[in-house]
Amino acid sequence: MSVALVTGSTRGIGLAAARRLAEDGVTVVVNGTDAERAAAVAAELGGDALPFDVADADAVQAAVRELFSRHKRLDVLVNNAGILDDALLGMIQPQRTFDVNALGVLNTMQACARLLARGDGGAIVNVASIIGITGNRGQVAYAGSKAAVIGMTRSAAKELAPKVRVNAVAPGFIDTDMTRALDPEIFEERVASVALGRAGTPEEVAEAIAWLASDRARYVTGQVLGVDGGMVI
Active site residues: 142
Type of residue at 64: V
Comparing C-alpha atoms, which of 121, 209, 114 is closest to residue 162? Answer: 121
- C-beta of 116 vs 227, nearer to ligand NAI: 227
Which SS3 state, helix, strand or coil, does residue 55 take? coil
Selected binder of ligand NAI within 23, 34, 159, 189 (CB under 6 A): 34
DSSP for 63-117? HHHHHHHHHS---EEEE-------B-GGG---HHHIIIIIIHHHHHHHHHHHHHH
7 touches ligand NAI (CB under 6 A): yes
Dist. CA 165–CA 78, nearest whole Å: 12
Contact string (CB under 6 A) for ligand NAI, positions 123-162, x = contact: ----x-x---------------------------------
Contact string (CB under 6 A) for ligand NAI, positions 88-127, x = contact: ------------x---x----------------------x
- C-beta of 110 vs 119, nearer to ligand NAI: 110
Selected binder of ligand NAI within 10, 153, 214, 221 (CB under 6 A): 10
Dist. CA 203–CA 206, nearest whole Å: 5
Helix axes of 104-118 and 140-160: crossing angle, nearest 10 degrees: 20
Selected binder of ligand NAI within 2, 27, 80, 167 (CB under 6 A): 80
Selected binder of ligand NAI within 20, 29, 32, 116 (CB under 6 A): 32
Selected binder of ligand NAI within 17, 18, 50, 81 (CB under 6 A): 81
Least Å distance, CB 123 to ligand NAI, is 18
Comparing C-alpha atoms, which of 25, 210, 11, 3 is closest to residue 118? Answer: 3
The burial of 173, by beta-carbon neighbours within 10 Å (0-12 exposed, 13-18 middle, 19 or more buried), is given as buried
Least Å distance, CB 39 to ligand NAI, is 13
Comparing C-alpha atoms, which of 11, 9, 50 is closest to residue 180? Answer: 11
- C-beta of 7 vs 214, nearer to ligand NAI: 7
The burial of 172, by beta-carbon neighbours within 10 Å (0-12 exposed, 13-18 middle, 19 or more buried), is given as buried
Binding footprint of ligand NAI on the chain (CB under 6 A) = 7-8, 10-14, 31-34, 53-55, 80-84, 100, 104, 127, 129, 171, 173-174, 176-179
